[in-house]
């Protein structure tokens, strides 16, 4: 099973790999947050445990953050400058493709406002959000493609998961996308 791949969308390198986002080196790491910025479980909890409670304390100052907006905080002791919190749901629980699109796009806009060139995403909405992998990947890809088509400072986007099957599905969908076979699904 291929667990790391690289693709290009224009000038931007897209990398997928099996790895914890808490170990990734990037200027910004994305937290698929809830609107109230509570960082209890899933990716949020892992970022808080690895980077320190300061991340959540800063995020809470911005709450509530609507879906479609994103805020940046310190990354604490993580290997990044910022954690970008893009709500995929109001409260912890199920989410949908539209929310994943909005959260991904908001995180990219926030990254551009911060001037970062490298950003790392988890598989948005596939954990606590319960969204099927293919739907999440398609929403994230559409948001990335739409954002990059308008011009961006971002030069590297890494998509990470600890789940090898999830990364394999990302790779398969990205490969189809890069060959122009996906259309507007």
Lowest mean pLDDT among 69-78, 80-89, 95-104, 174-183: 174-183
| Cis, bond preceding 119 (omega within 30 deg of 0) | no
- Pick from 140, 111, 108: nearest CA to 123: 140
Distance CA 158, CA 12 (A): 10
Whether 110 contacts 68, CB under 8 Å: no
Contacts of 100 (CB under 8 A, 6+ apart): 88, 124, 125, 129, 131, 135, 136, 139, 140, 143
Angle at 88 between CA 105 and CA 103, to 5 degrees: 5
Task: State percent of the chain over pLDDT 90.
Answer: 71
Give the pLDDT confidence score for residue 181 in this predicted structure: 58
Render pLDDT for 34-48 as a digit per residue (tens, 0 to 9): 999 999 989 999 999
- Would the CA dihedral through 153, 66, 146, 142 be positive or negative? positive
Q: What is the structure's pLDDT at 185? A: 45
Tell me the three-class secondary structure of 61-77, residue by residue: CCCCCCECECEEEECCC
> Hey, what domains does the chain have and what are their CATH numbers?
4-178 (3.40.220.10)
pLDDT, tens only, 127-184: 888 999 889 989 999 999 999 999 999 999 999 999 898 898 889 888 887 777 555 4
């Amino acid at each position: 099973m291929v667990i790391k791949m690289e693709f290009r969308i224009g000038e931007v390198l897209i990398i997928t790999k099996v790895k914890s986002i808490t170990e990734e080196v990037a200027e910004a790491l994305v937290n698929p947050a809830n609107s109230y910025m509570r960082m209890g479980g899933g990716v949020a909890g892992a970022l808080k445990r690895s980077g320190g409670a300061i991340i959540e304390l800063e995020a809470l100052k911005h709450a509530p953050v609507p879906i479609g907006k994103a805020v940046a905080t310190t990354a604490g002791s993580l290997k990044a400058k910022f954690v970008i919190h893009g709500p995929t749901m109001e409260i912890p629980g199920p989410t949908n493709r539209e929310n994943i699109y909005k959260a991904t796009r908001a995180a990219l806009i926030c990254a551009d406002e911060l001037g970062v060139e490298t950003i790392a995403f988890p598989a948005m909405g596939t954990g606590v959000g319960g969204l099927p992998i293919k739907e999440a990947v398609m929403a994230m890809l559409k948001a990335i493609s739409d954002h990059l088509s308008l011009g961006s400072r971002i030069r590297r986007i890494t998509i990470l998961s600890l789940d090898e099957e999830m990364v394999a599905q990302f790779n398969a969908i990205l490969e189809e996308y890069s060959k122009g076979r996906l259309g507007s699904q």
